[in-house]
Amino acid sequence: MAALLYALRTLARDWKSGEIGVLVVALLVAVGSLTAIAFFTDRVSKGVERQATEVLAADLRVRSSDEPNPDFFVEAGARGLDSARVLAFPSVVNFGDEGQLAALRAVSEGYPLRGALRVADDLFSSAYVVRDIPPPGEVWAESGLLARLGMAVGDTLQVGAVELRLTRVLEYRPDQSVGFVALAPTVLMNLADIPASGLVVPGSRVTWAALFAGGDAEIARFRAWLEPELVEGERLQDLSDAGEQVTGAIDRAQRFLTLASLVSVLLAAVAVAMAARRYAARHVDSVALMKCLGAPQRFVLQVGLWQLTLLALVAGVLGSVIGWLAQFGIAWLLAELVGGALPAPGWLPALMGLVTSLAVLTGFALPPIVQLRTVAPLRVLRRDLPPPRVAAWVSATTAIGVVVLMLYWVLRDLRLLLVVVGGIAVLLAALVLAGWLLVRVSGRLRGGVGVSWRYGLANISRRGGESITQVVAFGLGLMVLLLLTVVRNDLLDGWRASLPEDAPNNFIINVQPEELASVREIFRANDIEPPVFSPLVRARISHLNGVPVRELEVTDPDGRGLLTREANLSWSAPLPASNTLVAGRWWAEDSRGTEVSIEEGIAQSLGLGVGDTLGFSIAGEPLTGQITSIRAVAWDSFDPNFFVLFQPGEIEEFPTTWITSVFVPRDERTALLELVRQHPSVSVIDLESIIAQVRQVMDRASLAVQYVFGFTLLAGVVVLLAAVQATRDERRYESAMLRTFGARQGVVLRGIVAEFVALGLLAGILASVGAVVIGQVLARQVFRLDYAVDPMVLFGGPILGALLVGIAGTLATRSVVRTPPVQTLRA
Amino acid sequence: MVLRAEHLGKQVSSPEGTLTILDDVSLVIPKGQTVAVLGASGAGKSTLLALLAGLDDPSSGRVWLRDHELTALDEDGRAQVRAEHVGFMFQSFHLLPSLTALENVMLPLELAGRRDARTAARAALVDVGLESRVSHYPRQLSGGEKQRVAIARAFVTTPSVLFADEPTGNLDAHTGERVLNLLFEMNRQRQTTLVLVTHDEALAARCTRRIELDAGRLSADRMN
């Protein structure tokens, strides 16, 4: 108890005198950055969880690409179950001359069977729950659509061949996804309007859902009846498999963001270590006195442990409050991506905050504090006795141990842990080496500069270890910011610029065979060269090398996706222009047969090679093809391309629609409007608006990541403060000596400014070089571009670094210069 | 008998070889005696004080404080003896900067587990005339006031022995005089055994006994 009281008193006093300020701020940054992510992902997970019960908008759901069997509804009715139907497909809707890709959902009376729709009467009024659906002739649309088309409630929306009045703003539907990027806003309409719209014809790419709800027992019995009735292409969904994909996406996002925030935690931990070492050094005399007055080692240890525990508690709670506040920022930045209002977070992240603060203190502050108990009481008489030292291997082992444990806690995957630990070790080694080189080189330069700069540069090389830490801390933060802002934009712009001027900017899908001639004629009439159309046959992969896919366990998510959804097949006599052969041989142009060519990514995902066989179910009929070639596809050609191409001759008899991509100049878009009006079932997808939307999503996501790395810069500032604090006595003494010898205050201050500006420059150079190297690697490996170095990257780093570190460092140190020399020398 | 030392010796190793700081010192100090330890710089005064107070281990010899053989105890054992029986005063006061005057005086009481620490400490500060300074921090006190806080801290546990290392070394003559008056007055009231290390002949003259050290050896031991 005495130890606790003493610990409390000392901490309170040390807090007042600013002695533990840096330590606390470092902990707050660590806890704040980690809990911000934890609170945010907790909200998203809670949203998903809350929605899980209504995510199907039913108890049982049958998904299919064809209209569901009417017998299902008859049987459900006979068993006293409620039922409804949903038809979903993407389509371009028009308001005046403006078109926008929308996710159309046509629903029948009774939808949703579970959960409820929430709507608002206009864009800015509050939402309320409704129990009905849009009546025929009306639509309810998400606010995104209104914004993008400049519409208001009451306006008329062109949906295929019909005009529907927008009567409400759709705020929420139970089966919307949370934590999922939905590019197109939803338009909810009445199923009864679909025939008149002409949007759905045989072969259209649509998804039907039959919804059923009722008592648990009835649903279970109905399910038992239903399962044997299902045919190929119909999939039963219940709560257990709903949202599986969503949860996976959230897991990945959480891991990524948490890893990003761990960078700040690590840097803050370095600051904690520096501050704790100084704290221990400052308390050596007090401990010697306490021991002289009769305090046993146990008491000293207890005091130290209480101090750490109290600090951990305070920083854990306050840091969690900061994290809680900061997550609103992330939620706001990512609002469009997670969709809908998120529920409030739970308390678990705060617990994580406490654990983090305790772990950081244990790993980085415990060794010097524990070591205090070995201070010799004789120090009260002999100040020259050296203070106890913590063996380097003890500090290193505890710190690394805690970091590895924290990483494992985030990753929960031993293999990934090894990869990440290895990656961090290599990255740190590279950064430290670069930092060391920079510090060395700057030390050499000091012969050729003025007195202030010489003093500054001398300080940097004299405090080599601390200088390297600061250069790495700021360098890393600045590098990430440069990458996310300048380099990212450069690369995207470069990629856009690398596309040919006349690269297709519109996809035209769902063209029926009998419409081909008329569509071509519309182009010709508008002086546009009709593009080449590719056939498209919808099929399902049923067998791999003769083994039914349901008996296969495919671990690759892309491969699994391909096996569970419908595949688009096509046929072609020549090898398409944007394809290159990577294995096997291409069939002769005039050959007929069942040879198949697959895309290389898919070959890899499914583990397929030349000579393997693929079994398909096309409109219920089986067809097997043998793989004779594997292709690499340049997807960014924007030509219609296919994962699976057949040799001509076999699949032409199946229902086919045609697809193409075409370049239509902005001012000639009337041709496309005419096309849509004459052929309502044909969908025109404007690539530019999709690219713009993708870019918007990326902008938002990268803003969120920048936000997380803002904590990294903050951690860098804390490292700087810790370093300044650690050297304050020394600096005060030096400044007093210099001024005693006649240096004016200005000269000493200039020396300090020079030191921090130089440090910032070094960090900035590290950041710029790093950003340029990573940018070049990305340009070559991912974008296949020649990327000229942007002067913004080259000069941005050093300028930003010099400003940030120069200002922060000078502000933190200026009191040293202000202290009258006599006060320092007398003390 | 409060303090007894037998054949105390202290050697340390240095780059020039083994250095003898204290050589075969034996003495007995009875209860209530005031002893001045004198000698030139480096004569071993502070080392003797450190060994008698159990702050350091001798290279040879034994020390008893009351009925505890300090040289047979470990560091924590010696700390416990100090907590119960020993008070200290130092040239540089050694007040904890993070604690108020009152808290500084409370510290040894709290370490000894006394429940009345606050009242006893307050009374001790009243005794040294610092009732108006109880909640001041050391940096807000003058040198004389700091040393008076140190006196209060030294006497508050009513120790059997008080060790003082140059208690007036950092004070001007006038203040030093006042502090010494206080110290001897408190000592008289409480019948504490006092062991003072000093260069100051006037101070030594106020003690009942003087011990002189020369190059680590006891060169004189006489009553005033």
Q: Could you give the CA distance from residue A131 to residue A109 in angstroms, rounded to a whole number?
A: 10
Mean pLDDT of the A502-519 span: 87
pLDDT value of position A40: 87
In the predicted model, what is the mean pLDDT of residues A477-483? 85
Nearby residues of A810 by Cβ (< 8 Å), 6 or more positions away: A749, A752, A753, A756
- Residue A251's Cβ-side half-sphere holds a number of Cα atoms within 13 Å equal to 9
Separation CA A68–CA A206 (nearest Å): 12
Element spanning A584, H or E: strand A579-584
pLDDT mean over A678-707: 75
Higher pLDDT, B63 or A676: B63
Query: Residue A783 in 3-state DSSP?
Result: coil
Structure tokens at A361: 């203190």
Q: Which residue has the tokens 């806690």?
A: A409
- The reply to whether residue B94 touches residue A285, judged by beta carbons under 8 angstroms, is yes
Is the Cβ pair B88, A382 closer than 8 Å?
no
CA distance B111 to chain A (A): 6
Contact yes or no for A285 and B110 at CB 8 A: no
What gap in Å lies between CA A239 and CA A217, rounded to an integer? 16
- Section A89-94 average pLDDT: 85
Confidence of residue A471 (pLDDT cuts 50, 70, 90): confident
Mean pLDDT of A493-517: 83
Contact residues for A148 (Cβ-Cβ < 8 A; gap 6+): A98, A100, A185
Range in A451-460, B53-62, B80-89, B197-206 with the lowest mean pLDDT: A451-460
State the amino acid at position A645 in one-letter form: L
pLDDT confidence tier of residue A180, bands split at 50, 70 and 90: very low
Q: Is A702 within 8 Å of A484 (Cβ atoms)? A: yes
Q: Given an 8 Å threshold on Cβ–Cβ distance, is B49 in contact with A293?
A: no
The structure tokens listed for A439 are 């510090």
Output A148 or A370, whichever has higher pLDDT: A370
Residue B147, phi then psi, degrees to nearest 5: -70, -30
Write down the ipTM of this complex. 0.88
Q: What residues in chain B have their Cβ under 8 A from chain A's Cβ atoms?
A: 46, 49-50, 53, 55-56, 75-76, 79-84, 86, 88, 90, 94, 96-99, 103, 107-108, 110-113, 153, 165
* Residues A750 and A772: beta-carbon distance below 8 Å: no
How many interface pairs between A and B have CB atoms less than 8 angstroms apart? 80
Q: Are A66 and A655 in contact (CB under 8 A)?
A: no
Shortest CA gap A399–chain B (Å): 29
When CB atoms are compared, the residue of A2, A378, A380 closest to B90 is: A380
A293 vs B46, B50, B108: nearest CB:
B108
> In sequence order, which residues have a C-beta less than 8 Å from that of residue A626 and are 6 or more positions away?
A594, A595, A596, A611, A612, A613, A614
- Give the strand order in the sheet containing B86-90: B86-90, B161-165, B193-197, B34-39, B209-214, B217-223
Q: Which residues of A sit within 8 Å Cβ distance of B? A: 2, 5-6, 9-10, 13-14, 17, 19, 285-286, 289-299, 376-378, 380-382
User: What is residue A716's DSSP assignment?
Assistant: H
Does residue A50 surpass a pLDDT of 70? Answer: no
Cis peptide before A388 (omega within 30 of 0): no
Backbone angles phi, psi at A168, to 5 degrees: -145, 160
Q: What is the dihedral of CA A145, A704, A425, A270, to 10 degrees?
A: -170
C-alpha distances in angstroms, B174 versus A827, B76, B213? 22, 39, 28
Average pLDDT score over residue span A257-285:
87
Give the residue with greater pLDDT, B95 vs A385: B95
In 3D space, the residue among A315, A402, A310 whose CA is nearest the CA of residue A22 turns out to be A315
Cα–chain center distance at A278: 38
- Nearest in space to A417 (alpha carbons), one of A249, A254, A255, A250: A255
In whole angstroms, give the CA distance from residue A483 to residue A492.
12
Q: How far is B166 from chain A (nearest CA, A)?
A: 10
Task: Give the separation between CA A512 and CA A696, rounded to whole angstroms.
Answer: 34
**Position A77 pLDDT exceeds 90:** yes
Distance from C-alpha of B75 to C-alpha of A583, rounded to nearest angstrom: 79
CB-CB under 8 Å, B86 with A9: no
CA gap A507, A690 in Å, rounded: 11
Under DSSP, is residue A815 helix (H, G, I), strand (E, B) or coil?
Answer: helix
Q: Which residue has the higher pLDDT, A148 or A86?
A: A86
Interatomic CA distance for residues A282 and A277, integer angstroms: 9
pLDDT of residue A338: 66
Q: How confident is the model at residue A178 (pLDDT cuts 50, 70, 90)?
A: very low
Q: Which of A5, A9, A378 has its CB closest to that of B55?
A: A378
Does the structure show a pLDDT above 90 at A473?
Answer: no
- Nearest-angstrom CA–CA distance, B196 and B204: 8
Chain B residues with CB-CB distance to A380 below 8 A: 55, 88, 90, 94
Q: What is the pTM of this model?
A: 0.73
Per-residue tokens: A771: 């950003």
Q: What is the pLDDT of residue A133?
A: 93
Place A181 in a pLDDT band, splitting at 50, 70 and 90. very low
Read off the tokens for A487: 């380099």
**Percent of chain A scored above 70 by pLDDT?**
94
Name residue A153's amino acid.
V
Separation between Cα atoms, residue B148 and residue B141, nearest integer Å:
10
Q: What is the mean pLDDT of residues A342-356?
A: 88
A286 by DSSP, 3-state: which?
helix
* Contact (Cβ atoms closer than 8 angstroms) between residue A294 and residue B86: yes
Of A217-226, A237-246, A389-398, B33-42, give the lowest mean pLDDT range.
A237-246
Query: Which of A10, A296, A378 is opposite residue B76, by nearest beta carbon?
Result: A296
Q: CA B107 to CA B124: how far, in whole Å?
A: 13
Dump pLDDT digits (tens) for A134-158: 999 999 998 878 888 888 899 999 9
Express each pLDDT in B151-174 by its tens digit.
999 989 889 999 999 888 878 888
pLDDT value of position A82: 93
Which residue reads 């801290």 in tokens? B153
pLDDT at A336 (0 to 100): 66
Q: Report the C-alpha gap between A428 and A216 in whole angstroms.
A: 56
Average pLDDT, chain B: 90
Q: Residue B96 above 90 pLDDT?
A: no
Tokens of A582: 């990577």
State mean pLDDT over A461-477.
83
**pLDDT tier, B101 (very low <50, low <70, confident <90, very high otherwise):** very high
Q: Please name the member of B50, B81, B107 whose beta carbon is closest to the beta carbon of A381.
A: B50
Banded pLDDT at A245 (limits 50, 70, 90)? low
How are strands ordered across the β-sheet holding B17-29?
A: B17-29, B3-14, B60-65, B68-69
The predicted pLDDT at position A249 comes to 62
Contacts of A400 (CB under 8 A, 6+ apart): none
AA identity, residue A539: A
Mutate to test the interface with B, among A282, A293, A306, A729 (most CBs of B within 10 A): A293
